[in-house]
Amino acid sequence: MLPQPVVRAPGPAPEVDLAALVADLRAEVDGEVRFDVGSRAAYSTDASNYRQVPLGVVVPRTVEAGVAAVAVCRRHGAPLVSRGGGTSLAGQCTNTAVVLDWSKYCHLLLEVDPQARTCLVEPGIVLDSLNAQLASTGLEYGPRPATHSRCTLGGMLGNNSCGATAQRTGKVVDNVVELEVLLYDGTRFWVGETSDEQYAEIQRRGGRRAEVYRQLRSLREEYLADIRTRYPDIPRRVSGYNLDSLLPEKGFHIAQTLVGSEGTLVTVLRARLRLVPVVRASALVFVNYPDIAAAGDDVMRVLAHQPVTLEGIDHRLVADERRKHQQLAGLREIPEGGAWLMIQMGGDTPAQARAAANRLITAVRGGGSGTVHEFTDPAHERQMWQVRESSLGATAQVRGADRTWPGWEDSAVAPEKLGSYLRDLRRLLNEYGLGQASLYGHFGQGCVHTRIPFQLTTADGVARFRSFLERAADLVVSYGGSLSGEHGDGQARGELLPKMYGSRLMRAFGQLKAIFDPADRMNPGKTVSPYPLDSHLRLGADYHHPSLRTTFAYPDDQGSFANAVLRCVGVGKCRRHDGGVMCPSYMVTREEEDSTRGRSRLLFEMLDGSVRGGSIDDGWRSDAVRDALDLCLACKGCKADCPVNVDMATYKAEFLSHHYAGRLRPRAHYSMGWLPVLAAVAGVAPGAVNALTQAPGLGRLAKFVGGIDQRRDVPTFAGESFQRWFADRTPAGDGHRGEVLLWPDTFTNRFHPGVAQAAVEVLEAAGWRVRVPDRPVCCGLTWVSTGQLGVATWMLRRTLNVLRPHLRAGTRVVGLEPSCTAVFRSDAHELFPDDEDVTRLRQQTVTLAELLHDHSPGWRPPRLPAHALIQTHCHQHAVLGTTADQAVLTGAGVEADFVDSGCCGLAGNFGFEQGHYEVSEACAERVLLPAVRDAAGTDVILADGFSCRTQVEQSAAGGRSALHLAEFLRAGLHGEAVTPWPERRWGRRPQPPTRAARLAAVGLLGLAVLAPVVALVASKAR
């Protein structure tokens, strides 16, 4: 007899004794058990519109530990939800439950069978990692969602993921062989295709497994006709449970039945997957059309040529990416037109791929299509795919446009009906005033993606959201389509499933749920007996984040810190394990709270807590938020790498300024934050300060007082500052190009003056007359990075007074230290967006390479035939760019290798502070330091950032030193060997300290001890 369907009154989880649950989990589970406020906040939502704060989080170290966690939860009646990358768009990864996060530890590739073309994996393995490990076999796992750099196989199985490659390989359901699953009641077994003989053997053995199989077969027989007639016969049917996989012609495949069940039925422990050969060669063809519906009309003609992938994009998507300056290299290659089909043809050789592309081009031109453009260069192909894969982020947050949201982001119809469906969908969007939404997607399989500018913060807006989804569901069902063609049902579409399947199949879904999870403890409220689609909204009609008084003006977020925090849409690009700069701390810790997304979630909960009683209710004073931000390196990598340009470095500075207002700060905030002042004092007696910091006993004491890790060496102050050297110097050259102001940042001026001296020689040789401020100046960077924004803004205003005559005369300001240069190009504007002189400063500040390459017509760099390993400073990557640097090095004949190493890990004050050393070194050891160690003895290490050079020189990098570009070019001017020159970099070396200097050092140490008290009194006085 079949169990009755699960019918649940949507609401909170039943009362669970959390204290007892936590105690048992910690006693019995080999893993990290986190029921703290910060962890719960970080997992409160996914990439969807929904928010439910979990009971807690368990991060098992092994699969067996995960089994033990389920057993403890069962004993306490606690609901469960498994989570991988947490990028789901329908709300299936958020619940008032215990979250099992498999991604940190359970990510092994256990077996590979090249002959059978299968592999065995744990659920936490990331798709890109799996395929990288399979590379030597010539095989890969075929389905490849746009989130391939961070989505886990467990999540892909739960969601029945697809991606563009599903055109060739099919969905996940088509590529799974067998699964090891765990039921909530503790039953554990392998499932896969089941022959009649295997079924009989299972029944002979008896037990819970036999009961499950018997009930599944009865379910199939009872609803056989409904399954065969009500399931849409389309390539992208993802909505609903896969009851069709129980059909005899599909081999009673229980593993495939469980794929796409979104954690509502079982916990997947291991998976055996089907692999496909890697496409050896490809060619990409772009065909343009008057509009997106016309592109949809042409899909069937293109499908006749068996493309590897077939994507559609419209002009709105391209316009959004251009407005955000995303993926510009690829955007420049897109032909003009209203919409495009992006068609990838494959072959075993480049010639075969080109021949297939040529046949396609001949066919589409013969059919009267618009412009056709072909890409056969792999680099160009990658650029074009970046355009497509960045679409979700590009359409989510566009300056000057309404914020967009998921909800109806992946409907699907038969490809032959796509053009007509697109026209009707556009009409429906226009009827609701939502016509600005972009339409794109996997057109070869009839799947349409869109993000829509719903108004989710008012009662009327939420009502219209519901009304639109109900009408859109009716529309796609009328086409014989699926509510979801990729992202699943979750909460967003679970309530709409009866429209698609009818009452009988919905009853069958409930019975399937009851077979595996009769107590409804597995991800309750999703798919079956779902929460209403307009409940548990992350925003909602009661959303109101207060208008807070902040120091940064947030000019790109309507002046609102709350709007800035809302930028994060949860796509999780910050969770990738390599490539780019964002997010260095996550790359080494694999902690959700250490990702840009996790920190954004905590800030959201902090703002929400004061209004709706969110999980964080102590506002700016929150220790949970402070702890989550503690390992943020303030690298600004997210400002460039995040699809919606979250700037966590700025949010961290803002938070710290309020968190520590009127109270003592960490000691490092005084030693590192006030470095420009301390450096100026040290300039009076550098020998005394160096004696203090370098002597064994005093040095340890000084580092303790300054909150500096004992394993760090405090950089030595130069014997003579750059400004002093420049004041005593006679200008050289004719200065025929005019004047430039060379910015004497603290790091260059006080620690490495030789860098600025080299820059002066290079600039004068290029025809510039160099000027340098003749008094102490500072950009305020160190105060910004430690959240001492009152001092930072005062310092910037003081600096503007010094620079004002030069700025109003149109003089360019040349920055040598990327972090300080980035302050002028970014932070200053965000602090003073309406100040005309700040605007001039932003526009007139350039890097050395930019001045030479972009503003010195006819200049040619000296020839320097060498191989250079370049570590790009994070702030240069995020704010300044490296185009000019690449051009200068190419012009000099340098074979330049820009290492994809991300942040060096030192990141200004971060790597010096106590408690950060391990993460700092792990960041460096991920790519940078191994690359330096592996470099040939003749290779040049280039790093414009003081932090980057310091990290290379202080870490175990084989005794190597790094050069600034200015030093490198200066060597070329003089025809010298390219090696570091300590005397030139440091200026005049400090003399050994005298007895008086040592006494002065002790006095400085005493002042350092008193400095925090003085600063606190001053802050309270303000």
Residue with tokens 């008094």: 775
Per-10-residue mean pLDDT of the chain, 1022 residues long, equals: 68 77 98 96 95 96 98 97 95 96 97 98 97 97 94 97 95 98 98 97 97 98 96 96 97 98 98 97 91 95 95 83 57 72 93 93 77 75 71 63 88 98 98 93 96 95 97 98 96 97 97 97 95 96 89 94 94 92 95 96 89 79 96 96 94 98 95 93 86 83 93 92 95 93 97 96 97 94 97 96 97 98 97 97 98 96 93 96 96 94 94 96 95 92 96 82 95 77 50 52 53 52 45
**In this structure, are residues 240 and 489 in contact, taking their beta carbons and an 8 Å threshold?**
yes
Q: What is residue 316's predicted lDDT score, i.e. its pLDDT? A: 82
Tokens coding 51? 């928010």
| pLDDT tens digits for range 318-355 | 776 666 555 455 566 666 668 999 999 999 999 999 99
CB atoms within 10 A of CB 470: 14
Tokens coding 12? 């909170």
Exposure letters 497-520 (e unless 16+ CB within 10 A, then b)? beebbeeebbbbbbbbbbbbbeeb
How do beta strands 895-898 and 867-870 pair? Answer: parallel
Give Cβ neighbours of residue 665 (< 8 Å, ≥ 6 apart): 673, 786, 788, 1012, 1015
Q: Report pTM.
A: 0.92
User: What is the rounded CA–CA span in Å between residue 491 and residue 407?
Assistant: 10
Q: Tell how far CA 102 is from the center of its chain.
A: 19
Query: For residue 469, what are the CA distances in angstroms to 441, 778, 833?
Result: 19, 54, 40
**In this structure, are residues 111 and 55 in contact, taking their beta carbons and an 8 Å threshold?**
no
Q: What is residue 378's predicted lDDT score, i.e. its pLDDT? A: 73
Residue with tokens 């004061």: 610
Coil/strand/helix, residue 946: helix
Q: What is residue 983's predicted lDDT score, i.e. its pLDDT? A: 46
User: What is the rounded CA–CA span in Å between residue 710 and residue 699?
Assistant: 9
**Beta-bridge partners for 268:** 181
User: What is the rounded CA–CA span in Å between residue 425 and residue 481?
Assistant: 13
**In this structure, are residues 313 and 443 in contact, taking their beta carbons and an 8 Å threshold?**
no
**In this structure, are residues 331 and 322 in contact, taking their beta carbons and an 8 Å threshold?**
yes
User: What is the rounded CA–CA span in Å between residue 621 and residue 925?
Assistant: 34
Tokens coding 35? 């029921």
Coil/strand/helix, residue 539: coil
